[in-house]
Structure 1
């Protein structure tokens, strides 16, 4: 939640909270933590009630609809039958992307012989100009 904030910004937010709440800041923090504990307890109770009603052990992660269906409604055979038609398509797309990456690497190596023959995939797109790619691939075919 706060991964985009550095220490100065967190300090500024704390100072702003101190200015807004003043002497009540410890009570506000305590009330917020009490509310968080209450929400966690309610979620735990709902999970245990649902587990008891269904007769299986349910974790909080299992309440996501996809995970719930996969774990409780589909057998392994059913899941394999659903995945089978899509697996071939996935392999075809993966193979095509590998071929395109190899072609782009070859074009990039031919355009600038000083660069290594196998650059990283992220640098391939930035190293190749759109005009050169347009000569090799039909970019409007999407």
Structure 2
């Protein structure tokens, strides 16, 4: 929670707190603040326990942290820490093999050769196209 606070920032906050509350009232303020935090934590824990008891015995080991999207996906989709499912999905959705096949077929056709297996011409034998002379200065 406070991982982004550097020691210099903590010292600055302490000096500002001393100026605002004074050195004699600062310990009392800190005690009151920690007491409020303890009460809020106790209230949150009580609410979690009440919710677990209302859900029934099949949700006794239910953790609220599991509702975080990353944790949910890691637990239910990836089956723990295995990444085999992700790699399988990634390879199934990868368009590179199909694009390489189409590129090879287009190159074969453009070079005047008969297209190879898996070409764009399905079932029909493609005739080599006639080459048109291209003049780059004309365009």
Compute the TM-score of the two structures, normalised by the length of structure 2.
Answer: 0.46
* Greater fraction helix: 1
TM-score (norm 1): 0.45
